[in-house]
């Protein structure tokens, strides 16, 4: 058998060319192309996640009632906002 790509003589049972690495036959199964999320849907998911964090922090602040737990809930919201913001910024740079 002769390689389709480089013309090298290869064994009849070879799966790929030993010289250039080209497959000797077409693939039986082709991977399904996954669609990327649009920037709009990514933004919607990010805003919903942020809103969920805010609601949770406010709920925890009201349930606990103390100043220390309220401070902790605000700190958790601040960290969540920073993480979500950095994630959105990193995705836009790609």
Query: Which pLDDT tens digit goes with each residue over 24-69?
Result: 988 788 877 766 666 777 777 777 887 787 777 777 767 666 666 6
Provide the residue ranges of all domains of the chain, joining segments of one domain with +.
Answer: 39-93
C-alpha distances out from residue 81 to 11, 46, 51, Å: 59, 10, 10
Instruction: Note the pTM of the prediction, 2 decimals.
Output: 0.36
Share of the chain above pLDDT 70, in %: 79
- Look at residue 17 and tell me whether its pLDDT is greater than 90: yes
């Amino acid at each position: 058998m002769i390689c389709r790509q480089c013309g090298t003589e290869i064994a009849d049972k070879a799966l790929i060319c030993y010289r250039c690495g080209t497959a000797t036959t077409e693939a039986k199964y082709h991977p399904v192309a996954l669609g990327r999320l649009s920037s709009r849907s990514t933004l919607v998911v990010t805003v919903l996640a942020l809103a969920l964090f805010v609601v949770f922090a406010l709920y925890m602040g009201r349930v606990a009632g103390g100043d220390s737990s309220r401070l902790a809930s605000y700190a958790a919201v601040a960290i969540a906002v920073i993480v979500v913001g950095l994630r959105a910024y990193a995705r836009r740079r790609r």
